[in-house]
A and B are shown apart, each in its own frame.
Chain A
Amino acid sequence: MDWLFRGRCWKFGDNVGIDGDMAPLELAISRETRLEVLREVFMAGIDPDFPRKVQAGDLIVAGKRFAQGNPHIQGLLAARAHGVGVVVESIPRGSFRNAISAGVPILPRCEGVCALAESGDELEVDFASGRFRNLTRNFERQFQPLPAMLLDIIALGGYKEALRRRLAAMDAAR
């Protein structure tokens, strides 16, 4: 997987809700997991046109407690459906786990990142090294990347495929 994302910044504030903001609660309750359904509603609770504006490789930059609320996976699967990367100041534990499960590249603890970019800026983020570059404003910062084992899960597309691989490896070792 190519960990270098280069695209537009879409900036959100603190407390973006997993239910309502990132995807409708109804789709969480109905346990919707089809990416083609979820991509149509990504972030529509904040901006109804967002699913048509965002492009693969773009970067979601947000403040504290991104994806807060009851840890449903739907909003993060919707992010995966668009192929975006996520750079946030903090993310509650349940949604952090769901981001990995959904296969979303993420830098989960980037203190002060909201002050480093505005929506529309051209960003380049290397999720393997944690390097964050704002090409519009011409500077870079270093953040803590995910451990290699979690990058492996994301590279496989998330928890389910990673589990299949793990089982196959266990079978092969027998």
Chain B
Amino acid sequence: MGQTATEKILSRAVGRTVRAGELIYPEPDLVTVHDWYTVNVHDALAELGVNRMKHPERVLICTDHEPLAVSRQAAERQARVRWVARTHEVGHFFDAGRGGHGHVFPMEMGLVRPGMFVFAYDPHVTNYGAVGCLGIALVVEIVEVLACGSAWVIVPETVRVNLTGALRPGVSIRDVAQRLIADLDPDVVDYTVVEFGGPALASIDIDRRITLVNTPLEIGAKSALAEIDETARAWFEARGIDHSQAVMSDADAPFRQVIDFDLGLVEPQVAQPPTPDQVCGISDVIGRPVHHAFIGSCASSSLADLRDAARILSGRRVSPSVRMIITPGSNEIARQAAQEGLIEVFMQAGVMVSAPGCGPCAGGRIAPLAAGETSINTGTRNDPGRLGARDADIYLASPLTVAASAVAGCIADPRDFLQE
């Protein structure tokens, strides 16, 4: 019987052939920790009497949840993160303003590559699946990996999603990603890797694949992967990124379930409060007033997402009743957006462009909501209080829908703007 891509990646990480269901202690190629949790990690290691990480050269620390410190406390934390990175001599330290979002820039830079295995503190490490790298989050147990070089994992089964058809105008992969997690059965997805393939994958570039692999964890997936195909290989080769370790699931690999999903059946989707899988078609919520709009987060901060925003915002103004923030995912994305003239479009529309990183999605540390306000944004979560006030409503949607809503001052269908 064949192996899934996940089984192959984890087999390499333990040096023998493994199957779904086995308990293993895989050695990661990279370990990622973000922002102030770095300090907690250091303190936990110190409490255990560990002065040196097992493989500091494989550790990536980045400052992305609050790159522009907006309080004295945050500045002190950043200083402490710098001290920890220096003290432990970590191999990859990206201070404020140096990389951008830790779930985005390592793929651009080739630090994260096909076939690699990454252990992380933060759950949205599943993003690396966009380039065929398996990322698994351990939250606090990342301390064990840093101290001992590994931690236990049960090799996950795989749910295969075969994408077919083509997107209709005004619909984006963000809409597909949201519809998918509403349609998939959480009991089937639980503790699996959701693997995307099928004939339509070729039409989805790496920028959009990031969005696709970002969402399944919200309904309990362990991680997500996009199959490495010609589209992906062309992307690696254009950037000089090694893809020789890329793996694919075998044709006879044992999937927990195989699902076909037709992109052509999707219309613009909106996730309603209080969870990302409370998804409806846009017609159900159209016209609801919004006060706050945001495009960014690890799910939707690529150049493709910013281009979508510019398609709507070009020659238009954000409604006087809305404040809008756009956060490019990385320094490189921001640079390219500037070069293409996207930043100028945003500025003329009355948008605030913030430092590359998580933007408001990181708990509303910047640009939060006041009580009674409503936001529509491309963040990952819409739990009450995610963006500040608990008494505030958060809707999640595509960059096209968020931009259209920002202009309209209420939830709006982007197709109405693209036809004009």
Chain A residues with CB under 8 Å of chain B are 64-65, 70-71, 90, 92-94, 96-97, 101, 147, 149-150, 153, 159, 163-164, 166-167, 170
Contact = CB atoms under 8 A, between A and B. Distances in A.
A166 B148 contact: yes
Contacts of A71: 139
Contacts of B148: 163, 166-167, 170
B144 A149 contact: no
A90 B48 contact: no
B147 A163 contact: yes
A70 B363 CA distance: 15
10 contacts: A65-B186, A70-B383, A90-B187, A93-B190, A94-B139, A149-B152, A150-B23, A150-B152, A153-B152, A167-B49
A1 to B, nearest CB: 18
A70 B123 CA distance: 11
Nearest to A144: B21
Contacts of B116: none
B191 interface: yes
A167 B152 contact: no
Instruction: Give the 4 A-B CB pairs with smallest separation, nearest first.
Output: A147-B23, A93-B191, A92-B220, A163-B144
A148 to B, nearest CB: 9
Contacts of A70: 383
Contact of A163 (B143, B187, B190, B220): B143
Contacts, number: 44
Interface in B126-167: 138-141, 143-144, 147-148, 152, 154
A69 to B, nearest CB: 10
A19 B147 CA distance: 30
Given A71-B139, A149-B23, A159-B144, A96 B48 contact: no
Contacts of B141: 97, 101, 159
Contact of A167 (B23, B48, B139, B383): B48
Contacts of A147: 23, 154
A153 B154 CA distance: 14
A92 B190 contact: yes
Nearest to A100: B152
B191 A96 contact: yes
A164 B48 contact: yes
B370 interface: no
Interface in B42-80: 48-50
